[in-house]
Structure 1
């Protein structure tokens, strides 16, 4: 299996800290080896502060990487200023974060890495740098030439896949269609099958309260969601819905469903994050390669204080290894 790359995230946030803490965990890294792409100076500083005698070694390509105990190998792409302030939006940090992601995608497209695990980025910093994407999901899809993709959030208790992602509530409603609903239901089905669930049980959350209550609270559930579910069932997909959003996640957590298709960002992410971000992982499904990420953001409010928890990044990296191994085995 080709190596796995970890992007260092926004240097003004907790990304470098949680990366350093993860790589300093010798027992964990022996199981889930990886290298880093980012800023060498930033990662040396992070290792010195939070890496507990972790050695940082520069490399220049994925092919140079060789797993080694207590050694963080870094492909450096930028030269961020040494006085970059934690917790503040920085165009330079946004540009550096994007550069690391873009390079990782190029390696994945060329088959030089088997998976990408991304530390958190800051959307305002990306915008300040002139990056034309609102988040990881959109840049991963565009730069890999993928049109059928989605954001899946998962923890040991719940999985959810989003119909719309980074947009306003008004725009989310405008983007709903029978075609998009069906596309995401199919994607949920295929993705879970690739993860070893032969017959995924898919719940589709309604948009409106009580899934529209028969049209009393809006017509979108009847006109857009229900027809897509009916079509999916005709195709042999075990999908049900629309189901009320205030109870469907509870039913999934109790084991009735394997995944919930959620209509918009917060509908799907709040339940997963409420159950604990330390065990959560973001998986971009539908890409031609594996990509995972922690289930949290840059945490500017605690950046630089040494108190960031690397648990979600560890979960994301472990998941990247598991999915990459499954993909490699399927290709044989």
Structure 2
């Protein structure tokens, strides 16, 4: 099996807990010995300042594309991208919005160029990026889709014994019904099915699909989308050989009866599926973008500005995101 190329981690919003998490990561000797070569994308000065604030002794090594550093406790390899303005932990600054996107761009570029095996992203702050002059920015998922030049991607969150994928992602609830189209449903399920096989070793995925309306439309009495759009799309995909259950009433779709028979569950919109996932495993889950030509995972939480620099940020989700990225990267390597 070919050795993995370095893993890249973007630290996200510099005033948030992303820098704290990567600093805590490299200060754990037992964790470092389990990792392949990796580097954090960001400004070395940011990590020096945050380490001082946290009272942590940290050695920073600046690395360049193609350079590989064996992980060592207390050593943070950094692929340098300069900040636009000084950072105060917990205080957003619009001037650094471009820096956040530049770090993400470098991670994407490195993966597309074959310099990195995967990118793991710490949380960014959508609002400050939009306010800084990027009004069309809606989040990592959509930004990665556009940067990689693909038509569609799937947001899937995963924790122990539960995977939840979304048909629609970051949009107002009032826009969801019009966005739940047959094409969007079939695209989501084809991507999910393919990547469960390709990256997660599920040879014959069993996928549960939630309806849009309460009680999956109650035979049309609570909305027609379930009968007129979702059900025909599932029938088409079953004819292609997919094993699908649904459309299921969302209020019972996540009960043990259905989950026992599903390798993943598909929700029609963000707050239909993710509250269940986060209740089951918040802090122990990873956000995974399927359908990209690169591997990308992320933490399951936000920037937690109130915890930045306090030493109280919990690293669990970053560990899960790294582990999921490594599972996927190893599967991709074995497939070559």
TM-score of the alignment, normalized to the shorter chain, above 0.5: yes
Q: How far apart are the structure 2 equivalents of 1:69 and 1:252?
A: 45
After superposition, give the CA deviation of every residue in 1:186-208 in whole Å (9 maximum; x if it has no partner): 11211111110111110110111
Partner of 2:23: 20
Q: Please give the alpha-carbon distance, in whole angstroms, between the structure 1 residues aligned to 2:191 and 2:71.
A: 37
From 216, 226, 229, give the equivalent of 1:211: 216
Check conservation: 1:90, 1:128, Cα contact below 8 A: no
Structure 1 counterpart of 2:192: 188
Q: Which secondary structure state, in structure 2, belongs to the residue aligned with residue 271 of structure 1?
A: helix
Summarize deviations over 1:11-63 as a string: whole Å, max 9, x none: 1111111111112112212212311001211111223344742311122x231
Equivalent residues of 1:282, 1:316 under 8 A apart:
yes
Q: Could you tell me how far apart the structure 1 residues matched to 2:71 and 2:210 are?
A: 46
CA shift for structure 1 position 220: 0.7
SS where residue 98 of structure 1 aligns? helix
TM-score (norm 2): 0.94
How does the TM-score come out when normalised to structure 1?
0.95
Give the drift of 1:175: 0.9
- 2:132 aligned with 1:145, yes or no? no
Native 8 Å contact 1:21 1:51 kept in 2: no
Equivalent in the alignment of 1:281: 286
Q: Using the alignment, how far apart are the partners of 1:8 and 1:252 within structure 2?
A: 39
Aligned partners of 2:54 and 2:309 also within 8 Å: no
Calculate the aligned-residue CA RMSD, in Å: 1.6
User: How far apart are residue 300 of structure 1 and its match?
Assistant: 1.9
Deviations 1:114-137 (A, max 9, x none): 100000000011112323421000
Q: Which runs of 4+ in 1 moved over 4 A?
A: none
Give the counterpart of 1:117 among 112, 115, 120.
120
The Cα of 1:252 is off from its aligned counterpart by 7.0
**Matched residue SS, 2:91:** coil
The aligned counterpart of 2:92 is 89
| Contact kept in structure 1, 2:83 and 2:96, CA below 8 Å | no
Does the CA contact (< 8 Å) of 1:39 and 1:77 recur in 2?
A: yes
Which of 255, 259, 264 is the equivalent residue of 2:264? 259
> Contact 2:10/2:107 (CA < 8 Å) preserved in 1?
yes
Aligned length: 329
CA distance in 1, matches of 2:270, 2:252: 17
Q: Which deviates more from structure 2 when the two are superposed, residues 122-131 or residues 6-15? A: 122-131
- List gaps (5 residues or longer) in structure 2: none
Q: Is it true that 1:104 corresponds to 2:107 in the alignment? A: yes
Provide the C-alpha distance between the structure 2 equivalents of 1:85 and 1:51, rounded to a whole number of angstroms.
Answer: 16
Q: Secondary structure at the match of 2:33?
A: helix
Offset at residue 307 of structure 1 (A): 0.5
Matching of residue 174 in structure 1 with residue 178 in structure 2: yes
- Residue 202 of structure 1 contacts residue 238 of structure 1 at CA under 8 Å; is this kept in 2? yes
Q: What is the rounded CA distance, in whole Å, between the counterparts of 1:108 and 1:39 in structure 2?
A: 19
Of the candidates 243, 258, 271, which is equivalent to residue 248 of structure 2? 243
Tell me the CA shift for residue 227 of structure 1: 0.6
Unaligned runs of 5+ in 1: none
Alignment of 1:23-34 (within 5 A): 23-33=26-36, 34=38
Using the alignment, how far apart are the partners of 1:80 and 1:255 within structure 2? 49
